[in-house]
Structure 1
Amino acid sequence: MKEMTAKEVETLMNEGKLLNIIDVREVDEVADGKIPGAINIPLGLVEFRMHELDKSKEYIMVCRSGGRSGRATEFLEDQGYNVINMQGGMLSWEGKEE
């Protein structure tokens, strides 16, 4: 499983890179703040909504601490998607939130 740190994700954003971020936390968790531009697909719905994702794009998976996004990353990897888990999740995120 490919991983990157929250700091690496923040650096790429600050450099103006277009990132596809999927936040797999529950809706009420995301309401407290998320990475700008992140799409919320709760972990339990990933299997049912993966058709919304493009296999030619790279996605960065995010959750609260990195566990749920790790499971989502492994699942989507097995389905042929190009995914990266953000280590430490939102607990490690120091960048802007919306």
Structure 2
Amino acid sequence: RFYFDVGNVLAFSYPEHWIEVLGDYIVRVHIKDFDTSIGNIQGFKNLFEGDVNWKAVIKALRKVNYDGYLTAELSPYRTHPEMLAYDTSKKLDILNRM
């Protein structure tokens, strides 16, 4: 079984492809974004700030009937770190509506 990380996979491949390949083997999903033009650890970004095709990822998760949690794995803001929780909540609502 797998803990699948969308942002980590984008560094090397398309997460939506691997979601369909792994299907029922996915136990949990970690989400963050990734900027492929940076291509290293500095490329990890908050949701919607990178190159993840979120519509394709959500479509693939639905196709394999994933109904577990999406765990946001993000770094807090330098100033007002508590705002990350509010912003991430709003972005998760957007993902849920895709």
The question of a shared fold, defined as TM-score above 0.5 by the shorter chain, is answered with: no
What TM-score does the superposition give when structure 1 sets the normalisation length? 0.35
The structure whose residues are more often strand, as a share, is 1
- Higher RCO by CA contacts (8 Å cutoff, separation 6 or greater): 1
The structure whose residues are more often helix, as a share, is 2
